[in-house]
Chains A and B, each alone.
Chain A
Amino acid sequence: MHEMGIALEVIRIAGQSIPPELEGAQIAKINLKVGKLAAVVADSLRFCFEVASKGTPAEGARLVIEEIPVQLRCRGCGRTWTAQEPVFVCQDCRSTEVKMISGRELDIDTIELVDGENDDEPSG
């Protein structure tokens, strides 16, 4: 719902991440990790990103969104599993001491810069 705010931050952080010696470079690709519980709608984020990146080093960049599943670990018996529904109770030992290992990420993992000569890798 706040995808525009997220898009603006992505653009800001990605722009900051261009090393000074490569100033002026354009970004070809931004690799994001987005947890399933992060409440980010990928289509909205792409739309906002496209609009907001105009005139920035991120203009025209491809957003690659890797969805991170909700991984839980039981503190009682140590079992680790991927949650398909929002139940934070261990199905083996019924412990309610469950730690969320992943699923809330909203991280920029890497960015890739336009090389000028060869940037025609296939999109995926």
Chain B
Amino acid sequence: MMNLPGEKHLLLRHHDHSHGHGHGHGHDHGREDVFETTAGGGRRIKVVRRVLDANDVTAARNRELFAAGNVFVLNMMSSPGSGKTTTLQKTLARLMPDVRAAVIVGDICTTNDADRLAASGAPVVQINTDQFGGDCHLAAHVIEKALDGIDLEAIDLLIVENIGNLVCPAEFDIGEDKRVVVLSVTEGEDKPAKYPLMFRVCDATLLNKTDLLPYLDYDLAEVEKTIAGIKPGMPVFKISAKTEDGFDAWIDWLRDQVRDKVGK
């Protein structure tokens, strides 16, 4: 898989710190001494660029807009069916109107979630990713487009309800301030171990549907231990979106986050 024996290996490597000048070429691909002739006679060109560069650039642009509008942005991710929308409905009901919130909700199709959330009175922008190729995540450019429908000056908090998926959304920065993952106790205890990146990149976990615990053989301690191994110190809020059990701690945490950035 690596370079073939005998092949010239003249190019600076990305993480090669033995060359003091290794990072001197800037982020863009300078055209000087970028290509070499390989043993096979072909020309090799140094690229050293992140494949998702374009997304990160757009995310940075979004982040600037959010800073200018003084808006705290929460990226809410989860597997499908974890109760994200209900959690969000109840969360909005508790925060509004003193925290002025808006929601961007992503789904591969249907507007069911948006219809449910609109009842809260918060402005809701629905994104159906089939218009963008049936994507498995919300990318930064999709959020940028959705911002056309939201007056950032009029809100303090923007919650992005991402596509139900524990894999891809973890990879895509959308310009958010914090990320939370919603997991429910009706899913396997090993979900965090199966999708470690998601838990690693998040700032809090909401463990939902705890009202069902009496009916399940769910090892709560094991899940907490797994999460603590992946992201030590991350708060895990045990909640029931149905009964609103455990919501106080979660809402307090969220209010603190908003206050830290927005000042109210």
Contacts and interface: CB of A to CB of B under 8 A. Distances in A.
A88 B201 CA distance: 12
A119 interface: yes
Interface string A79-121: 0000001111100000010101010101111111111011111
Interface residues of A, number: 52
Nearest to A33: B14
A108 B47 contact: yes
A88 B167 CA distance: 19
Given A88-B200, A100-B200, 8 more contacts: A13-B53, A39-B168, A88-B231, A107-B14, A107-B48, A111-B44, A118-B42, A121-B38
A17 B45 contact: yes
A86 B40 CA distance: 40
A88 B229 contact: yes
Given A33-B14, A86-B196, A109 B40 contact: no
Contact of B47 (A67, A87, A111): A111
B45 A112 contact: yes
A122 interface: yes
Contacts, number: 137
Interface string B36-63: 0011111111111111111000000000
B4 A39 contact: no
A112 B38 contact: yes
A112 B4 CA distance: 13
Given A22-B43, A64-B1, A115-B41, A9 B54 contact: yes
Please classify the interface of chain B as helix (H, G, I), strand (E, B), loop, or mixed, using the class held by over half of its residues: loop
B51 A119 contact: no
A123 B15 CA distance: 25
Contacts of A117: 41
B264 interface: no
A14 B46 CA distance: 10
A10 interface: yes
Given A10-B51, A39-B197, A122-B4, A96 B233 contact: yes
Q: A17, A29, A104: which has the most chain B beta carbons within 10 Å?
A: A17
Nearest to B5: A124
A37 B48 contact: no
Interface in A1-54: 1-2, 4-6, 9-10, 13-14, 17-19, 22, 25, 28-29, 32-33, 37-39
A34 to B, nearest CB: 9
